Structure 1
Amino acid sequence: MTGPPADDGAADSDAPEATVTLPADVVERYEKFSRFNSPYPAHDHGRAVDLYPGAGVGRSPVAGVVREVRTVGCPDRPYAAAEDHLIVVDLADEWCARAGAPSGTVARVLHVIPEVDPGDRVAVGDALGPTTRSGFFGQWVDDHVHLGFRPPDANPLRASGSLPVAADLHAEPVAWGGTGAVVERGPTHVVLDGPRRSGSGPAFAALASDEGVPLDGGLTHYAGGGTFRGKVGSTVPDGTTLSLFGTEIGSLRAGDADAGAPGVEWAPVDVLANGERVTGLSLFAARGDRFGVKVVCPDREFEIGESVTLDVVASDDPIRLGVG
């Protein structure tokens, strides 16, 4: 989960609604991506994207000239660095044209220790510096580049009022029965060996709802989640009810960026692992034929190789993690 500094929630009332659409060849440089896997408002409304490089190097998803670098405070977490960093980039007109962004749009990059300076010109794929473990995101979250955009003439240090973000690619929706073996274990999570994809189709894949919609976000430990663009040519109407493992988990909400991948208002449900409640599922689009599901479970221990069956059940007191 990520959260930029000065993120006070609602978008500025006069902010343009042009959507910045990341080209497919930019997103495909990363191992995973997510727009909704965070409790922070910018993510909750599809106005930021997290890009996971997987190699400890924060590579630039944009082209332009560095305007400013700044060290910022972040929540005090025992597993995290005491500070985070913001890199502001004035985007090149050519990059803006490819992404459908107004000329003069500014990019905001977080969670990278800057090895660039104001005035430096950066291209897509250039190393900005090493990624950092930030108190803005949970212990179970992998290092990543947080990316948002501010319209021309807006305060680039603010997150509120950022432009909607979309990705110009599709994620294969992969159905899964909910049972898998533990292949990775961390202090607050485990990763299961399912689901598996066919190996063909789009570069990215994501866990599918029962209706075949690829899911994004923290199910349901963050109040809002989202979806990815599914099969080419397919559309899912706003308000469509989604379910997982036979239980309703929420409905698509209108008004978010990128109508092909709207947000979801999660229903009040709990996630169970082998019959006991866990915090939730951390969902994203990932490359590879076996991308795994990450189970957030700081109060449970599972052994490598242990079989885990997930269920979703209605709840009177669902877990909801905030930004504090």
Structure 2
Amino acid sequence: MTERETETVTVPREVIERYPRFSLYNSPYPAHDRGYAIDLYPGTGIGISPVDGVVRETRTVGCPDRQYASDHDHVIVVDVDAGWSGAAGVDRPLTARILHVDPAVRSGDRISVGDPLGSTVRSGFFGRWVDDHVHLEFREREANPFRASGSIRVAADIDVEPVPWNGRGTVIETGPAHALLDAPAESVPDREYAAVASDEGMPIDGGLTHYAGGGALSRDVRDGSSRSDGDVGQDLSLLGRRIGTASGRNVSWTDVDVLANGERITGMSLFVARGSSLGVKLVCPDRHFEIGTDVRVSIRESRNPIRLDVGQ
């Protein structure tokens, strides 16, 4: 294992608390494969800065052409201040790589945590069910900030409460490709961050199982580890069915289907959220659920599981 692979940049609590929801693994893109990026969901249409520092460069880039999204995106590169608390334990200068925000800042601007960077972008990199968010990665100062790989592992200075779920919920929001359930949010205090718990009590993060892998977080994710660190091939289950194997906090999903009221759907979008923001999102572009519909989710073994790549 390289030195970079053993480092972790911890995003400070004061940053996380500005967002009602975040995810380390819910994406098919390389930076999220092993938790080397974090997606922060503002829910306001404005991308606020997660770091203190100086803008080095902004760049507009192309992205997949999708009818529901923009065909271009943006990268904001920020040289992070050494005093930013997220850099603790990393003994070299850091650069932040921020995506999915149309920059209202330019090279040389000094920014602080919470400053508006610009409007969030409905990016062609997103699946249709994905909400606008701020994508954040960290790299060594001399690393190329525009390559897809090369980032440092990310953690969050936050406690995550594992919340048991029985697979039931009522639809409270719908879209062309998703249905949002009210459960298990009703059991989470408003200020606590929580995630759906596996049957073993691990908070689960990721696209189950339409992306290749996800994350099994510990309640305390400050150091980027999990309670399964050191355990090789720890099985995880949900709703009584084995769903994957955890190595550290990284999970490889097994071959299963997700069912909603007995019919197969693409999958479930799982993330860490505060209070009432914690609701399971059903990814279901081929099915429509009316608001108010009661849904029972189940999981079964599959010989042909749905797996989406970066082009879908």
Fold shared by both chains (TM-score > 0.5): yes
Residues 53-64 of structure 1 correspond to what in structure 2 (within 5 A)? 53-64=42-53
1:163 aligns with 2:155: no
Confirm or deny that 1:67 pairs with 2:56: yes
**Structure 2: any 5+ residue segments left out of the alignment?**
none
Give 1:8's aligned residue: none
Structure 1 residue runs of 4+, over 2 Å off?
13-17, 96-103, 196-203, 231-239
Partners of 1:303 and 1:220 lie apart in 2 by 24
User: Is 2:7–2:153's contact at 8 Å kept on the other side of the alignment?
Assistant: yes
1:278 aligns with 265
Match of 1:36 among 9, 25, 42: 25
Cα distance in 1 between the residues matched to 2:88 and 2:22: 17
Match of 1:224 in 2: 213
Equivalent residue number for residue 244 of structure 1: 238
CA 1:231 to 1:201, structure 2 compared with 1: closer, same or farther past 3 Å? Answer: farther
Aligned to 1:257: none
The residue correspondences of 1:155-234 to structure 2 (distance < 5 A) are 155-200=144-189, 203-230=192-219
Amino acid at match of 1:271: V
- How many pairs does the alignment contain? 306
Structure 1: distance between partners of 2:42 and 2:190: 21
What SS class does the counterpart of residue 113 from structure 1 fall into? strand
Give TM-score scaled by structure 1 length: 0.90
Q: Find out whether 1:302 has 2:296 as its counterpart.
A: no
- Deviations for 1:35-76, whole angstroms, at most 9, x for unmatched residues? 100111110111100000110000000110000000000011
Distance in 2 between residues matched to 1:155 and 1:29, nearest whole Å: 28
- SS at structure 1 position matched to 2:66: coil
Partner of 1:320: 307
Find out whether 1:139 has 2:139 as its counterpart: no
Contact 1:23 1:98 in 2 (8 A): no
In structure 1, C-alpha distance between the alignment counterparts of 2:214 and 2:227, rounded to whole Å: 18
Q: Which moved more, 1:162-171 or 1:224-233?
A: 224-233
Asked if 1:266 corresponds to 2:253, the answer is yes
The answer on whether the counterparts of 2:53 and 2:79 sit within 8 Å (CA) in structure 1 is yes
Q: Residues 185 and 277 of structure 2 are in contact (CA less than 8 Å); yes or no, is this contact kept in structure 1?
A: yes
Q: Distance in 1 between matches of 2:90 and 2:126?
A: 28
- 2:102 partner SS: coil
State the Cα distance separating 1:309 from its structure 2 match. 0.5
Helix, strand or coil at the partner of 2:105? coil
Note the C-alpha offset of 1:198: 3.7
Provide the rounded CA distance (Å) in 2 between the counterparts of 1:232 and 1:46: 11
Aligned CA distance change for structure 1 residues 113 and 320 (closer, same or farther; 3 Å)? same
1:111-151 Cα distance to aligned partner (Å, 9 max, x none): 00000010000000000000010011111011000000111
Query: Contact conserved, 2:266 with 2:283, CA < 8 A, in 1?
Result: yes
Gaps of 5+ in 1: 1-10, 255-261
Equivalent residues of 1:174, 1:214 under 8 A apart: yes
Greater per-residue strand proportion: 2
Name the structure 2 match of 1:82.
71
- Who is 1:5 aligned against? none
Q: Report if the CA contact (8 A) 1:20-1:101 is conserved.
A: yes
Q: Secondary structure at the match of 1:316?
A: coil
Distance in 2 (CA, whole Å) between partners of 1:225 and 1:321 is: 13
DSSP 3-state at the match of 2:91: coil
Q: Distance in 2 between matches of 1:50 and 1:267?
A: 24
Q: Which amino acid aligns with 1:235?
A: R
Q: Deviations over 1:22-43 (max 9, x none)?
A: 1112111101000100111110
Which amino acid is 2:9 matched to?
A: V
1:168-206 residue CA offsets vs partner (Å, 9 max, x unmatched): 212111111111111000010000111135444972111
Q: Which amino acid aligns with 1:204?
A: Y
- Report the identity percentage: 59
TM-score norm. by structure 2 comes to 0.93
